[in-house]
Amino acid sequence: MSKVARELNALQRQMEGGAPLPHQATDWAMRLFTLSRDTQVDPSAVQKLLEHFLDSLPEWGLEDLPARTAEYAHGLATAPGELEYEELHKLFSLRDELHVLCELGMSIGSETRSELDEALRARFQAQKKAASSVARDRAEDWNRTLWWYAERLNPRLRK
């Protein structure tokens, strides 16, 4: 069995195991997103798992997963004082997760997204050097053009 097939099977078994914690569901979404971008994966197999995932969110009590992710990120972005490297890393990770959740078909309100992005920009502006370091460390092909990376990697793009 190929590595990709093992990943698909493992993900399916995990989803059938019952209600996940929010961070587990977000991890599953990230894995589905990665699989959906893999040219060696049968798109119909990923689509089937994605549909199961999306259909199961209400049953798991996680239909508001994007809003929870945004709320957590906003709270961290607006926390008093300077954030440590690991906390800035978590902010990038949370914004990546929110992006992926929306790419997979979930959504958050435009006001929530705007408030979060404003808070992130303010935090990244306040901690330019550290935020740029995190962006360099976390950037991958799929995310380097997203504004929270692009503005840190290319200062001319900053708003």
> What residue segments make up the domains of the chain, in order of their start?
3-56, 65-157
Which amino acid, 69?
T
Q: Which of the residues in the chain have pLDDT under 50?
A: none
Query: What pLDDT is attached to residue 157?
Result: 66
Residues making up the chain, counted from first to last: 159
Place of tokens 């200062």: 155
- What's the pLDDT score for residue 87? 98
Percentage above 90 pLDDT, the chain: 86
Please answer whether residues 36 and 8 qualify as being in contact, where contact means their C-beta atoms are separated by less than 8 angstroms: no
HEC secondary structure over 19-79: CCCHHHHHHHHHHHHHHHCCCCCCHHHHHHHHHHHHHHCCCCCCCCHHHHHHHHHHHHHCC
pLDDT, mean over the chain:
94
One-letter amino acid for residue 33 of the chain? F
Q: What is the pLDDT of residue 121?
A: 96
Predicted confidence at residue 26, as pLDDT, reads 97
User: Helices 110-126 & 128-138, crossing angle to 10 degrees?
Assistant: 110
Q: What is the pTM of this model?
A: 0.93
